[in-house]
Structure 1
Amino acid sequence: MTTNKVSPIITKDTLKTIFDNISENELFVCSLCACMCTNQNKHQLVSTKCGHLFGKNCIRKRLKETGQCPLCLKQLETRRDKQLRTMCLSSVVTIFPFEISQMRDERKQLRIRLNEINKRLERAKLKLNSNKKRLQIINKKILKKCKHMKNI
């Protein structure tokens, strides 16, 4: 991060704290200030015409400074009423790009682990089948000896 115009990186611990302390209707963190958006007041969740979501005051301030969407850099009109649309938090589910990357990495690790477990399972099945065959052979020998003992 070189300037404060770049969205802050939110750590896993910060995300855990956020998700541990919010209700399911509060699932959006402003990418400009990393604070939780709300359904009302100064940090109300709003959408720009280009579809990006921010806290209302954060994006208003940024639009005054640059006139651009901080994420896609699309030039936006400076009249607020034309730019920002109020969003309802209960209809928003957010996944940050670094979370997607983390999820892909975790999924890859889980696939590797699953393959290892499947290989171990196959080896265990082969060993089980081998042991079953050996047990059948031993049982046959025992039965033969029992029959042989009865005949004597």
Structure 2
Amino acid sequence: MTEINVESNKKQRIENTQTREVEDEHITCTICSEVWTSGGEHCLVSLKCGHLFGKSCIARWITERAQKLGDKKTFCPICMKPARLNDIRIVVPIKLVVKDTAEINLLKKEVEMKKSKICEYQNTLELARLSLNLSKRELKRAQDTLL
């Protein structure tokens, strides 16, 4: 009976993972695989062909292709239809899941501050170690001169 439960749990986890992957396909940029944001540089945009991307990704895609191939040769990365920078349109959906990155950005800043603090502590620790070694050497010299 336990063996059946284990198999059932494994199957359920696999199904949950597959469901999340399918859901993620509908809320992520096809260029970078990141979730679209509700505003800013990676907000949801579309091209004339209707394919959806993060704004910064498709703008970079079109710009890079235009530089390499010439303006008339840029295309949608999905359907290969012609695409230009002025074809990019911001999508304002009625109901769509977008990622609110405000909390993530705050946490990233907090992590950076903690990393900076760790570096400060490491430098302080290194100075303390050097000072300790210097004191040990002076003590050793003093002991040697007394003997």
Structure (1 or 2) with the greater helix fraction? 2
TM-score (norm 2): 0.42
Larger Rg, first or second structure (1 or 2)? 1
TM-score (norm 1): 0.40
